[in-house]
Structure 1
Amino acid sequence: MASAEARRLVPQLDIEQILKEAQHRWLRPAEICEILKNYRNFRIAPEPPNRPPSGSLFLFDRKVLRYFRKDGHNWRKKNDQKTVKEAHERLKSGSVDVLHCYYAHGEENINFQRRTYWMLEEDYMHIVLVHYLETKVRLIWCPHFCCA
Structure 2
Amino acid sequence: MDIQQIILEAEHRWLRPVEICEIFSNRNKFLLAPEPAYMPPSGSLFLFDRMVVRFFRKDGHNWRKKKDARTVREVHETLKVGNVDVLSCYCAHGEENDNFQRRTYWMLKEELSHIVLLHYLQVKVANHSLNYFLL
TM-score normalized by the length of structure 1? 0.86
Give the structure 2 partner of residue 82 of structure 1: 70
- What amino acid sits opposite 1:29 in the alignment? P
Report the Cα distance in structure 2 between the residues aligned to 1:83 and 1:33, rounded to whole angstroms.
28
Report the Cα distance in structure 2 between the residues aligned to 1:73 and 1:139, rounded to whole angstroms.
26
Equivalent position SS for 1:31 = helix
Which runs of 5 or more structure 1 residues have no equivalent in the other structure?
1-12
Give the structure 1 partner of residue 61 of structure 2: 73
- What amino acid sits opposite 2:25 in the alignment? K
TM-score normalized by the length of structure 2? 0.94
Give the structure 2 partner of residue 6 of structure 1: none
- How many pairs align? 132
Q: How does 1:36-47 map to 2 (within 5 A)?
A: 36-47=24-35
Task: Give the aligned CA root-mean-square deviation in angstroms.
Answer: 1.1
Percent identity over paired residues:
67
Report the Cα distance in structure 1 between the residues aligned to 2:86 and 2:130, rounded to whole angstroms.
38
Deviation at 1:61, TM superposition (A): 0.2
Q: Contact 1:37–1:124 at 8 Å: present in 2 too?
A: no
- What amino acid sits opposite 2:20 in the alignment? I
Which runs of 5 or more structure 2 residues have no equivalent in the other structure?
none
Deviation at 1:141, TM superposition (A): 5.3
Q: Runs in 1 of length 4+ with deviation above 4 angstroms? A: 141-144
Report the Cα distance in structure 1 between the residues aligned to 2:96 and 2:130, rounded to whole angstroms.
29
**2:84 is aligned with 1:96:** yes
Q: Contact 1:91–1:100 at 8 Å: present in 2 too?
A: yes
Equivalent position SS for 1:82 = coil
Equivalent position SS for 2:24 = helix
Report the Cα distance in structure 1 between the residues aligned to 2:129 and 2:65, rounded to whole angstroms.
32
